[in-house]
Amino acid sequence: MLGRSRLPFVFLAVAVTCAVAQHAPPWTEDCRKSTYPPSGPTYRGPVPWYTINLDLPPYKRWQQLITDKAPSLRIIVNSLKDVVNAFVPSGKIMQIVDQKLPGLLGNFPGPYEEEMKAISDITGIPLGVIEWILGKKDAMWIGFITRSVLENSTSYEEARNILIKTKILAPAYFILGGNKSGEGCVITRDRKKSLDIYELDLEQSRWYVVETNYDRWKNPFFLDDRRTAAKMCLNQTTQESISLPTMYDILSTKPVLNKLTVFTTLMDVAKGQFETYLRDCPDPCIGW
Ligand SMILES: *[C@@H]1O[C@H](CO)[C@@H](O)[C@H](O)[C@H]1NC(C)=O
Ligand SMILES: *[C@@H]1O[C@H](CO)[C@@H](O)[C@H](O)[C@H]1NC(C)=O
Ligand SMILES: *[C@@H]1O[C@H](CO)[C@@H](O)[C@H](O)[C@H]1NC(C)=O
């Protein structure tokens, strides 16, 4: 299951237009075959694996991960502060966020307050700043809703219901797969409600659903038609032959793979497999 922002591609896509108008190199290619296991120029390496033990008290769970990532977290937070201070140069806003916000907002629900205190203590980033980045509390941050579904939902139906109904902080696509035949859907959300639920329909031979970064009823930006490319490759394979390797083939085919692709994650619910690979898309390749 993935929660994805429905916004970010727009800005980059507009910028791409100017850059590619005069050229027409091979931005697309025939559906790739036998790209798995990952290797070659589109593979930048593995992602480190951390085991988060939820049986530990919340304050202890993230110790190793946050200790390793503290320097990068501090860099991210400092650049966010720079952006804010560039708009309001007095530094007053960050001062309020640093000092007053924790009290103003009250506690985050469930395990989050304690977990964030630990993150704050390990990194030295003030708790108020962490809370400010994660957002206000009357609606769920996307990370919180996915976390609570992954941690506590015990069936496809329950997960689907929560993702459809819970109020959230920002629009999102939820891509959900179950472990039984026919269990799979893409939920298009705005903050308050679901705009669309697109289901597998095996009787109609719809054995896959594709979500790139567009509402299903809207056409993709013409230089970013990953949707048609992915469907074309899926149509060239069969339901019986779909597997992590054949999914990796599709996700390695330009322009499904493009310069904005940071990583590729493959999951198999029934087998409990979860693999993530850092990606690259050497020239000629669309997206940046
Ligand atoms: C999951 O449920 C347990 C037991 O009710 C609760 O303690 C925990 O906070 C829940 N996790 C999340 C992320 O909400
Ligand atoms: C599917 O998931 C449910 C809920 O976790 C589990 O009870 C069931 O055994 C699983 N079925 C298969 C076929 O893996
Ligand atoms: C893929 O196959 C479906 C079902 O036959 C068809 O409706 C769709 O147009 C095809 N898409 C592409 C991009 O080939």
Kindly report, residue by residue over 241-252, the tens digit of the pLDDT. 999 999 999 999
> Residue 256: inside a domain, yes or no?
yes
- Residue 123: per-residue pLDDT: 96
Q: Which atom of ligand 3 is nearest to the CA of 235?
A: 1
Residues in the chain: 288
Q: What is the pLDDT of residues 186-245, one digit of tens each?
A: 999 999 999 999 999 999 999 999 999 999 999 998 889 999 999 999 999 999 999 999
Helices (H), the chain: 9-20, 63-87, 92-99, 101-105, 112-123, 127-134, 142-152, 156-165, 226-235, 244-251
Cα distance between residue 147 and residue 250, in whole Å: 28
> Residue 6: inside a domain, yes or no?
no
Structural domain count of the chain: 1
Q: What is the pLDDT of residues 244-275, one digit of tens each?
A: 999 999 999 999 999 999 999 999 999 999 99
- Burial tier of 147 (Cβ tally within 10 Å: 0-12, 13-18, 19+): middle
ω before 284 within 30° of 0 (cis)?
yes
Cα distance between residue 188 and residue 211, in whole Å: 10
> Residue 233: inside a domain, yes or no?
yes
pLDDT band for position 156 (cuts 50, 70, 90): very high
> Residue 280: inside a domain, yes or no?
yes
Q: What is the pLDDT of residues 117-152, one digit of tens each?
A: 999 999 999 988 888 877 655 587 888 899 999 999
> Residue 158: inside a domain, yes or no?
no
Q: Which atom of ligand 2 is nearest to the CA of 179?
A: 1
Residue whose CA is at the smallest distance from ligand 2 atom 8: 179
Cα distance between residue 164 and residue 174, in whole Å: 9
- Residue 139: per-residue pLDDT: 82
Kindly state the average pLDDT of the residues 65-82.
Answer: 94
Query: DSSP letters of 100-158?
Result: THHHHH-PPSTTHHHHHHHHHHHH---HHHHHHHH--SSSB-HHHHHHHHHHH--SHHH
β-bridge partners, 172 = 5, 189
- Residue 100: per-residue pLDDT: 67
Q: How far is ligand 3, taken at its centre, from the CA of residue 232, in Å?
A: 7
Ligand 2 binding pocket (C-beta < 6 A) is 154-155, 179, 270
Q: Is the CB of residue 232 below 6 angstroms from any atom belonging to ligand 3?
A: yes
Domain coverage including residue 282 = 21-50+220-287
> Residue 203: inside a domain, yes or no?
no
CA 279 to chain centroid: 15
- Residue 17: per-residue pLDDT: 43
Nearest to 260 by CA among 8, 56, 1: 8
> Residue 96: inside a domain, yes or no?
no
> Residue 107: inside a domain, yes or no?
no
